[in-house]
Amino acid sequence: MTVISFDTPSYFFTSVTHKRLPVFRTDKFKKLLCDALDDARRSSGTLYFAYTIMPDHFHIITDGKRSPSDSLRFLNGISARKIIDHLKTEGPKQSLDKLRNEIKKGDYKYSLWEHHSDKFLLTSESMFMQKVNYIHNNPVEDGLVERQTDYLYSSARSWHGCPIENEPLEMDNVHIKWRNR
């Protein structure tokens, strides 16, 4: 069980796409990201408590078992590889070209994520819930949906007790040991 405290914090991460490109504006790419995040969870042994995927970024709250930099290495590294590999094999080529950076004349590498992801240490239940609410309100504030639970690529349904049968990304909320509830 995870207790959210100063001694056992959780992490709130925001990863923004390279040049804020709307890579995740389609369900296909949001699903690819969910699958990659699930792969990262299994590889790292990390727990996920809340998330949302927006067209040009995602927010996620994880446990604090790993260091922030190690957690981001799994989250961003596995997802970048999966999305870029998909673009290389399936296209669209113009999307891949937008992620391309020239490192030497004629030599290219691809960047899905900006290099400085936001990370925030959550050391109390009230701070934790503030970020959960922020995450779930993000699609509403952006005008993508009217209600939090209407947005498919979010953990809002899990938190509101109405998950669908095939949630895009399962949450580990049952592993939280609440002290103040």
Which whole number is the average pLDDT over 151-178?
A: 94
Which whole number is the average pLDDT over 17-32?
A: 94
Which ranges constitute the DSSP H helices of 109-166?
A: 125-141, 156-159
Is 80 exceeded by the pLDDT of residue 21? yes
Mean pLDDT highest for which of 5-19, 23-37, 94-108? 23-37
Alpha carbon distance 142, 32 (integer Å):
22
What pLDDT does 181 receive?
A: 59
What pLDDT does 71 receive?
A: 93
What pLDDT does 114 receive?
A: 86
Q: Where are the domains of the chain?
A: 10-175
The architecture of the domain spanning 10-175 is 2-Layer Sandwich (3.30)
Phi-psi region of 136 (alpha: psi -120 to 50; beta: other; left: phi over 0): alpha
Quick: pLDDT tens for 86-135: 988 987 788 878 887 755 555 558 889 987 778 999 999 999 999 999 99
What's the mean per-residue pLDDT of the chain? 90
Quick: pLDDT tens for 53-63: 999 999 999 99
